[in-house]
Copies of this chain bind each other. A is one copy, B any other.
Amino acid sequence: MVFQDHFVVQTSGRGTRLITSEIQEGVHRSGISRGICNLFLHHTSASLILCENADPEVRSDLERYMTGLVPDGDPMFAHNAEGPDDMPAHIRTILTSSEMSLPVVASRCELGTWQGVYLWEHRTAGHRRKLTLTVYGE
């Protein structure tokens, strides 16, 4: 069995947004109890991460760290037509990921207690971000 669905997340600029419940709801609708759930983000300046879901300081520390690792407006970047965050957003995406596959057990994505799935917007402005969810199994 294969189930596919698309959904859109409206971001409000740089930062992480928890999307675990959207995913669990998609898996529920698929009717598949055991298998894999693949998530795919159709963009090159936002990414999908599994991150600690309890202390919000983890995500603010993460943002601060990444801002230091890939500085906005670095003069080494030639690709800056959309602003100082343009090329850094592409690099942040490549250093993290645009897709992930999660086990489906008992009709749910079986995440660890402290794992949340986050969409990480890397542009400073908000964007409409499109995802494909594919669930397969039995």
Contacts and interface: CB of A to CB of B under 8 A. Distances in A.
Interface of A: 2, 4, 34-36, 38, 40-45, 49-52, 55, 57-58, 60-62, 64-65, 68-70, 76-79, 81, 87, 90-91, 93-103, 105, 110-115, 130, 132, 134, 136-138
Q: How many copies does the complex hold?
A: 3
A2 B111 CA distance: 18
A98 to B, nearest CB: 5
A34 B4 contact: yes
Nearest to A94: B49
B57 A79 contact: yes
A95 B98 contact: no
A60 B111 CA distance: 30
Contact of A38 (B50, B87, B103): B103
A4 B102 CA distance: 12
